[in-house]
Amino acid sequence: MLDSAATLFAERGWARTTVEDIARTAEVGVQTVYFTFGNKRALLKEVLDTAIAGDMDPVATLDRPWAREVLAEPDPAVQLALQAAGARWVLDRAASVLEVVRGAAAADPEIAALWQANLEQRHAVQLRFAEALVDKSDGGLLGGHDANSAADIAVTLLGPETYGLMVGNLGWSAARWEHWAADALVRQLLPDQTP
């Protein structure tokens, strides 16, 4: 049901996807969808959570192996490259669902709350990464950035809006976006490392 819902939401959008369409595509009864998820909004939230995590395991982002690797990396530039790689790993799966949520948020207050919660979660993860980055940067971050403003920059550069525009609309490959995002993070946050 989750795969069917994810496909239909991405193809048709929130408003044009019905629970009946999802049930038919998943080859289950409509009542099975309602029994399992309660309503279409709850189903969208589950689709989003699963797409972001990459599985159904109840493991927080910062407890996942890729995030622990980011935090443990001693080299600030390599950490930023790992952040870009992690964002690509998530966005390869979740960008289309995030776009559905963002688009539906304007017309539905509950989905607007879901979008806001997702943004806050992304910022919290990037803030933790930025705190680690500050700790590793002996001379501080470029331009006097602190962890909060570094997290703001990372949320913007590594967000689904930027990824969707460059990969989905402008035809960049995901690998090219990842390289650009890592380079942009380094240029925005790290002082020049050359002697």
pLDDT recorded at residue 134: 95
Domain presence at residue 77: yes
With vertex at residue 136, the alpha carbon angle to CA 58 and CA 73, rounded to the nearest 5 degrees, is 45
Domain presence at residue 40: no
Domain presence at residue 28: no
- The domain total for the chain is 1
Domain presence at residue 195: no
Structural tokens at position 156: 């913007």
Domain presence at residue 194: no
**Predicted TM-score of the model (pTM):** 0.88
CA distance 100 to 143: 36
| Residue-number span of the structural domain to which 66 is assigned | 57-189
User: How crowded is the C-beta side of 92, counted as CA atoms within 13 Å?
Assistant: 13
Domain presence at residue 4: no
Domain presence at residue 117: yes
Q: Is 9 exposed, middle or buried (0-12, 13-18, 19+ CB in 10 A)?
A: buried
pLDDT tens across the length of the chain (195 residues): 999 999 999 899 888 999 999 999 999 999 999 999 999 999 999 999 999 888 888 888 999 999 999 999 999 999 999 999 999 999 999 999 999 999 999 999 999 999 999 999 999 999 999 999 999 988 789 999 999 999 999 999 999 999 999 999 999 999 999 999 999 999 999 997 543
pLDDT recorded at residue 88: 97
Beta carbons within 8 Å of 102's beta carbon, 6+ residues apart:
115, 160, 161
Taking the CA atoms of residue 16, residue 20, residue 22 and residue 24 in that order, the dihedral angle to the nearest 10 degrees is: -130
